[in-house]
Amino acid sequence: MVEDERMELLTRTRPDRLLVAALLSWTCAVVAVITGVWTALDPGLLLGPPAMRGSARGTALVLAVVAVPLLLVSVTRAVRGSAWALVTWGGSLLYCLYNSVLLLFLTPFNAAFLVYVALLGSTLWSLGTLIAATDLHQLGGRFSARAPARGVAVYAWVVGCLNLLLWLGTVGPASFGPFPAAFLDGTGLTTNAIYVQDLAVWLPLALVAGSWLWRRQPRGFVVVGAILVLWVVESVSIAVDQWWGHHLDPAATVVSSSVVAPFLMLAVVGAVPAVLLLRHARPLPDAPAATPGASGVATGVPAGSAVSGRGAPRRAR
């Protein structure tokens, strides 16, 4: 009896956590719009070389007009019972997290510093609350047996390994001097936060999550799906920031208009495995009729759904 009561309390609590994650994500979206609009449209805000200023403004534009709408649509669909929207919700937050770090550490200190900090903080709290509210095993179990798990896992491995080799091929030789490293020429930077993030967090995570997906472990569907969303939006972001940086300084070597089309194509190519995977996520169980005190009704989250940790059959590993 005590265990049943504890599980019933958990069932009521986790949808409440999802509501908190939704509210935090809306806050994150507001901060992201302020960040994106201010950084992209205020030509006097940023300091440093023109190419780097243009690159940051391009990133900010994609943050406001691509990542934020994706985040809001995902939150809205997720609280109505969409399993795939929970994954794209996480992926859009990963993009906000990734680029909030870049805005903080790849741009000289400026008037928007506290806004950038607010973006990083609201993203971290949103993502942490979303993870706490979501049972990854149950959510991953919503993907059907027809989902192309191994094909998508191979794609994640290929992209991850190629990116890893590219970064190590740049950073490795530079570690032996002379200093400052040649890859920093023209950037005005003392180091590159892109290499830090990718080598320490995102590329290892993609490779490990790919192994989970290869074995059809539920967490692999969720984590790889979110990373694919991050990669697609980031590819668009790179194309835009390279175009804007080149527009402000055509002679700069740290940006190039020649990579705009390839990265837009990479975004299209990357969207294919993301769609192929996410389209096989079955909707969460329907919510019961609205009655006072019904579990999940107050928050708009289906009772017995993957976010509550009950109702969905577990997939064998």
Give the start-to-end residue ranges of the domains of the chain: 2-278
- pLDDT over 90 (residue 246): yes
Q: Which residue has the higher pLDDT, 15 or 253?
A: 253
Reading the block at residue 294, the tokens are: 């019904």
Write out pLDDT tens, residues 44-54: 999 999 999 99
Write out pLDDT tens, residues 121-151: 999 999 999 999 998 888 999 999 999 999 9
CA distances from 124 to 90, 95, 167, 237 (A): 11, 11, 26, 20
- pLDDT over 70 (residue 313): no
Reading the block at residue 9, the tokens are: 């309390």
Could you tell me if 60 and 88 are in contact, meaning their C-beta atoms sit under 8 angstroms apart? Answer: no
- pLDDT over 60 (residue 307): no
